């Protein structure tokens, strides 16, 4: 028979002992929450301490504001000095490289200039040697022609048979005499070079297709030597005139290929009067004594 009470339950189950839970004492109930609270606080304090330690290690110590500004200015100054030193070094390197390039360029130009001067000097020496050889050959030919002319002149000459060799061909000995007399008429008071030049002008006309092909025809050509016809029979040339004629026949030409000669005192080529003068329109090749030679 069951009873609703405690005792009735026990009576119905006489062989089973009821499990009696020990009751916690009031002191134990108070210690447990206190321990939990202490553990939580201890964990909190340890966490805060670790965070504070990390912040203490990571963050620099506080510096007063004036000192911080001074440090920042010093760092900027050092950076500017470093940049300026880098720019100066770069400019120095550039200037050094440019100076080296300029020196190499000048040295190369100097070497090229020296090479050109050596080439010019070598060409000048060769030209001088060639001119000396040519002058030597011309002098030898002149001496041979003069010797032949003197040898032929020492023999009695006729108008038709006797001839003398010259650079421009063969000329009658009486034409050689005519040439010497023309030198005496036109350049008797001129220096010796002027006498040779006058004789050379007559021979240049003989060789030119614009004039007759003989000394006599050139001398007596109308309008060329107007006083020749009346003066030639009376003139007696001297030794210098004869020698000048022979040198012209041998090839000497101080007139440099001239076909005309005139006295600038009679034919001034300055002013309004020079416009209509034939001689003033010619190209001057030489000036010897009182004569101007042109072509």
Which one, of 289, 292, 288, lies nearest residue 263 by Cα?
292
Is 63 part of a structural domain of the chain? no
- Quick one: average pLDDT of 92-109? 89
Mean pLDDT of the chain: 76
Considering the domain architecture, whether residues 243 and 281 belong to the same structural domain is answered as yes
Q: 11-15, 90-94, 165-169 — which is least confidently predicted?
A: 165-169
CA distances from 279 to 95, 123, 221, 224, 226 (A): 66, 38, 18, 13, 17
Same domain, 100 and 191: no
Q: What is the DSSP letter of 6?
A: H
Q: Does 130 share its domain with 184?
A: no
Question: 38 phi and psi, to 5 degrees?
Answer: -65, -40
CATH of the domain at 162: 1.10.10.2520
Q: Is residue 287 part of a domain?
A: yes
Higher pLDDT, 51 or 259: 259
Q: Do residues 253 and 202 lie in contact, with contact meaning Cβ atoms separated by under 8 Å? A: no
Do the domain assignments include residue 252? yes
Binned at pLDDT 50, 70 and 90, residue 250 comes out as confident
Q: Say if residue 203 is in the same domain as residue 286.
A: yes
Q: Is residue 18 part of a domain?
A: no
**Mean pLDDT across the stretch 109-131?**
90
Supply the pLDDT for residue 269. Answer: 79
- The pLDDT assigned to 266 comes to 83
Q: Flag whether 73 is in a domain.
A: yes
Statement to judge: residues 74 and 178 lie in one domain: no
- Per-residue model confidence (pLDDT) at position 224: 84
Provide the pLDDT for residue 159.
37
Lowest-pLDDT range, 44-53, 134-143, 229-238?
Answer: 44-53
Provide the pLDDT confidence category of residue 61 given band limits of 50, 70 and 90: low
**Number of domains the chain is built from:** 2
For the ranges 79-88, 112-121, 149-158, 265-274, which has the lowest average pLDDT? 149-158
Task: Quote the CA–CA distance of 164 and 176 in Å, as a whole number.
Answer: 8
Does residue 121 lie within any of the structural domains? Answer: yes
The predicted structure's pLDDT at residue 44: 73
The dihedral through the CA atoms of 201, 206, 208, 209 has a sign that is positive
The more confidently predicted of residues 124 and 228 is: 124
Give bridge partners of residue 189 from the DSSP assignment: none
pLDDT digits (tens, 9 = 90+) for 217-226: 888 888 888 7
Q: Tell me the pLDDT band of 196, cut-offs 50, 70 and 90.
A: very high
b/e code 245-277 from CB counts within 10 Å (16+ = b): bbbbbbbbbbbeebbbbbeeeeeebeeeeeeee
d(CA 227, CA 211): 19
User: Over 90: is that where the pLDDT of 172 sits?
Assistant: no
Q: Give SS3 for 152.
A: helix
Same domain, 221 and 287: yes
Domain that holds residue 76: 69-136
Beta strands (DSSP E) in 159-279 are: 163-166, 169-172, 260-262
Residue 284 falls inside a structural domain: yes
User: Is residue 6 predicted with pLDDT exceeding 70?
Assistant: no
Same domain, 160 and 284: yes
The answer to whether residues 162 and 214 touch, using CB atoms and an 8 Å cutoff, is: no
Domain shared by 200 and 120, yes or no: no
> Is residue 199 predicted with pLDDT exceeding 80?
yes
Label residue 211 exposed, middle or buried (CB < 10 Å: 0-12, 13-18, 19+).
Answer: middle
| CA distances, 138 to each of 135, 167, 208, 242, 293 (Å) | 5, 10, 21, 19, 22
200/290 same-domain check:
yes
- Specify the higher pLDDT residue, 197 or 172: 197
pLDDT value at residue 183: 92
């Amino acid at each position: 028979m069951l009873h609703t009470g405690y005792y009735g339950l026990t009576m119905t189950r006489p062989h089973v002992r009821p499990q009696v839970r020990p009751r916690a004492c009031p002191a134990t109930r108070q210690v447990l929450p206190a321990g939990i609270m202490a553990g939580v606080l201890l964990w909190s304090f340890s966490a805060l301490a670790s965070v504070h330690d990390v912040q203490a290690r990571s963050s620099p110590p506080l510096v007063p504001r004036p000192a911080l500004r001074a440090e920042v200015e010093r760092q900027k100054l050092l950076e500017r000095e470093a940049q300026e030193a880098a720019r100066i070094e770069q400019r120095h390197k550039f200037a050094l490289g440019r100076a080296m390039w300029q020196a190499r360029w000048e040295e190369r130009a100097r070497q090229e200039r020296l090479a050109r001067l050596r080439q010019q000097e070598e060409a000048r020496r060769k030209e001088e040697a060639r001119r000396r050889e040519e002058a030597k050959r011309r002098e030898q030919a002149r001496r041979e022609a003069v010797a032949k002319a003197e040898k032929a002149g020492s023999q009695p000459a006729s108008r038709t048979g006797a001839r003398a060799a010259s650079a421009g061909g063969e000329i009658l000995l009486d034409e050689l005499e005519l040439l010497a007399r023309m030198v005496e008429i036109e350049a008797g008071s001129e220096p010796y070079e002027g006498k040779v030049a006058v004789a050379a002008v007559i021979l240049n006309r003989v060789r030119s297709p614009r004039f007759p092909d003989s000394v006599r025809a050139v001398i007596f050509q109308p309008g060329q030597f107007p006083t020749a016809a009346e003066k030639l029979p009376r003139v007696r040339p001297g030794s210098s005139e004869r020698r000048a004629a022979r040198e012209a026949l041998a090839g000497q030409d101080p007139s440099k290929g001239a076909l005309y000669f005139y006295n600038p005192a009679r034919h001034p080529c300055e002013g309004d009067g020079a416009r209509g003068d034939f001689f003033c329109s010619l190209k001057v090749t030489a000036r010897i004594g009182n004569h101007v030679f042109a072509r």
